[in-house]
Amino acid sequence: MKKSLAVCLMCAMLWIACGGDDESEVPQVEITFPIDGSVVSGTVEITADATADVDIVTVEFYIDDSLVSADTSSPYGHSWSTVGLVDSSSHTIYAKAYDVDDNEGTSPTISVIVFNGFYESDDFNSYPSSVYQDSIYALLDGNGNWSSTDWNVIREEIAFDSNYIMVREFPVSSQNHATYHLTTQANIVSLSVGFAYIEEANAEIYVLISPDDTTWVDVTDQFNISTTTTPMNTSADLTAFVAGYGSDAYIRFEAEASGGANWHCAVDDFWVSGTVE
């Protein structure tokens, strides 16, 4: 009798130690996006998977050890705005899941780097003489054409700081232009533009911007452009002009003859930089 009682007590203790029949296991949870070590910008849609042998009640999201939100239904997620955070700064993300038995599970912690800036440049090396090959730039004359068949417009390439430049020369013609299309993954918040140039007598360079390649705003006076036969650098902050632009911006360079003589007008080493949200 005593032996049987001892065996029963031992079984009961083992049952309790194993959690009993009604106690669920700890939930399993992991961050599914973004991935560990990735670079993020704008608004990041953080997602997590959570499973348990009973129902999940809620999933909490933590950024830099601070609780930022709790989601009670699958798919579990949190929208994280990185606007205003320091570029190149590192941030940690993890999640906690709770089931109906109040068991808690914590995901592995991931680390991401925030970078909301952009930088694009073009040194014009990829444009053979008189032939349009690159889809980023449209090299056009005043009639909307610029190719080897437009014999009334001459385009040369000459050495310029170890690169090449676009040159509009003779005969005199109206408003030749090149357009650059910048597209980002989020709304443009700030924008700066810079380039090297030559603007000889009898010619002028104009710079314009547009959100849609249709409505153009002349921003030439934001740059310090002067008559010169040697390469000069100039840049300008165009943030005041891009409010409401969305994720696209078009930057156009126009070259216009202003006299009867032959003329040279060149743009090289063009770059754009800025931030998005």
Query: How does pLDDT run across 69-107, given as a tens digit for each residue?
Result: 999 999 999 999 987 788 789 999 999 999 999 999 999
Per-residue confidence (pLDDT) for residue 156, from 0 to 100: 42
Domain 24-115 matching CATH 2.40.10.10: the answer reads no
- One-character DSSP codes across 176-212: EEEEEEEE-SS-EEEEEEEEEEEE-TTEEEEEEEESS
Q: Are 24-115 and 118-276 the same fold in CATH?
A: no
Burial of 2 (0-12, 13-18, 19+ CB in 10 A): exposed
- Per mean pLDDT, which range of 27-41, 68-82, 87-101, 180-194 is the poorest? 180-194
Q: Rounded distance, CA 140 to CA 123, Å? A: 18
Per-residue confidence (pLDDT) for residue 107, from 0 to 100: 97
Greatest mean pLDDT among 3-17, 112-126, 237-251 lies in 237-251
Per-residue confidence (pLDDT) for residue 257, from 0 to 100: 66
Per-residue confidence (pLDDT) for residue 158, from 0 to 100: 42
When pLDDT is averaged across residues 116-125 and rounded to a whole number, the result is 69
Collapsing DSSP to helix, strand or coil, 5 comes out as helix
pLDDT of residue 162 exceeding 50: no
Residue 260 CA, chain-centre distance (Å), reads: 45
Per-residue confidence (pLDDT) for residue 194, from 0 to 100: 92
Asked whether the beta carbons of 168 and 155 are under 8 A apart, the reply is yes
CB within 8 Å of 251: residues ≥ 6 apart: 179, 180, 182, 193, 207, 208, 209, 270, 272
Asked whether the beta carbons of 226 and 168 are under 8 A apart, the reply is no
Share of the chain above pLDDT 70, in %: 68
What are the residue boundaries of the structural domains of the chain, listed by start?
Answer: 24-115, 118-276
- Per mean pLDDT, which range of 98-107, 134-143, 183-192 is the poorest? 134-143
Q: Rounded distance, CA 234 to CA 195, Å? A: 6
Q: Which CATH class is domain 118-276?
A: mainly beta
Tokens of 85: 């955070």
Q: Rounded distance, CA 219 to CA 33, Å? A: 41
pLDDT of residue 169 exceeding 70: no
When pLDDT is averaged across residues 126-153 and rounded to a whole number, the result is 33
Better-scored residue on pLDDT, 50 or 258: 50
Q: Indicate the helix (H) or strand (E) that contains 16.
A: helix 2-17
Q: What is the mean pLDDT of the chain?
A: 75
pLDDT of residue 136 exceeding 70: no
Instruction: Look up residue 221 and give its DSSP letter.
Output: G
